[in-house]
Amino acid sequence: MFFVANWKMFGRPSYYKILEKINRYIVRHKKNKSLNIVACVPNTLITLYSNKLKKTLIKVGAQNCSEFQNDGPYTGSVSGKMIKDAGAKYVIIGHSESREQGDTDKIIKNKIESAFKAGLQIIFCFGETLSEKNKKKTKQIIRNQIRKAITNKKFLKKILFAYEPVWSIGSNKIPKITELNYIIRDIKKFVKYTYKNNKKIKVLYGGSVNSLNIEKLKLINQIDGYLVGGASQSSKKFIDILKNYYK
Ligand code: PGA
């Protein structure tokens, strides 16, 4: 089970205490070994936090990387390799907030390839907008986003799929449980057939996950984890999600 914190543009060196508290909770409650916690923090904190978290269950991730693999004249960009060197094990790619800032399917495809070459685990985000949902295009949009971003079956072993409906991010709205169940199943089926892949893939859900709706979300046994934005910026809110998930 994955619980991924996406801090977005939030975090200073001293905010490490948030992760320290989460770690203390996990240790105290001896949560089972299948629990994976990933903290996707701003690049400025990767090295500091990954050093501090070395002996804990929490892994550090980045929130994006450049589409370019090698060093070059790309002012302001950070490559997958650099992120890996800094201590990250994971990287989020394709988040709707990055798509809004210009990431196209093609750029996302390149980023996945770069991150794969760098040896990072990829948290690949995709999902439909509200207008696409209203037009009943969800399934088609998701399938297209996946097909265009993942062009080689070999990438699958490094990818965690993260379904994040754009309209649910930061809005306090989540899909109906029956709809979500259907979509997650469809993603698994689609990946299996499109890439002739017989290995199980992991599909996470993200979008307004909190300690209350986790009680409903956890009923969907096809979900392999959660991507938590806003509620991961507070140790209490994040721990409450874990508490309610495991109770
Ligand atoms: P949210 O963000 O939990 O604040 O909705 C989720 C995300 O952006 O990954």
Tell me the three-class secondary structure of 173-218, residue by residue. Answer: CCCCHHHHHHHHHHHHHHHHHHCCCCCCCEEEEECCCCCCCHHHHC
Residue nearest to atom 8 of ligand 1 (CA): 229
Q: What is the spatial distance between Cα 71 and Cα 79, in angstroms, rounded to a whole number?
A: 8
Residue 80 is predicted with a pLDDT of: 98
pLDDT tens digits for range 102-118: 999 999 999 999 999 99
Residue 30 is predicted with a pLDDT of: 75
Instruction: Tell me the HSE value of 109 on the side-chain side, using a 13 A CA sphere.
Output: 13
For the Cβ of 227 lying below 6 angstroms from any atom of ligand 1, the answer is yes
Question: Which atom of ligand 1 lies at the shortest distance from residue 210's CA?
Answer: 3
Question: Which atom of ligand 1 lies at the shortest distance from residue 228's CA?
Answer: 3
pLDDT band at 34 (very low <50, low <70, confident <90, very high): confident
Using the mean position of ligand 1's atoms as its centre, give its distance from the Cα of residue 196 in Å.
Answer: 31
Q: Mean of the pLDDT values across residues 97-103? A: 97
Structure token pair of residue 146: 């996946």
pLDDT band at 29 (very low <50, low <70, confident <90, very high): confident
Report residue 206 CA to chain centroid gap.
8
For the Cβ of 205 lying below 6 angstroms from any atom of ligand 1, the answer is no
Mutate to test the pocket of ligand 1, among 2, 6, 100, 166 (most ligand atoms within 8 A of CB): 6
Q: Which of 67, 97, 128, 164 is catalytic?
A: 164
Question: What does the chain look like in DSSP terms, one character per residue?
Answer: -EEEEE--S---GGGHHHHHHHHHHHHHTT--TT-EEEEE--GGGHHHHHHHTTTSSEEEEES---S--S--S-TT---HHHHHHHT-SEEEES-HHHHHTT--HHHHHHHHHHHHHHT-EEEEEE---HHHHHTT-HHHHHHHHHHHH---GGGGGGEEEEE--GGGTTSS----HHHHHHHHHHHHHHHHHHTT--SPPEEEEESS--TTTHHHHTT-TT--EEEESGGGGSHHHHHHHHHHHH-
pTM for this entry: 0.97
Catalytic annotation present for 29: no
CA distances from 180 to 29, 132, 145, 185 (A): 30, 15, 17, 8
Residue 32 has pLDDT above 70, yes or no: no
Q: What is the spatial distance between Cα 130 and Cα 127, in angstroms, rounded to a whole number?
A: 10
Q: How far apart are the first and last CA of the chain?
A: 15
Average pLDDT, the chain: 97
Q: What is the spatial distance between Cα 227 and Cα 151, in angstroms, rounded to a whole number?
A: 24
What residue has token string 């990818």?
159
Residue nearest to atom 2 of ligand 1 (CA): 229
Q: What is the spatial distance between Cα 181 and Cα 8, in angstroms, rounded to a whole number?
A: 27
Catalytic annotation present for 95: yes
Residue nearest to atom 7 of ligand 1 (CA): 229
Report residue 234 CA to chain centroid gap.
18
Q: Which of 95, 97, 113, 128 is catalytic?
A: 95
Residue 31 has pLDDT above 90, yes or no: no
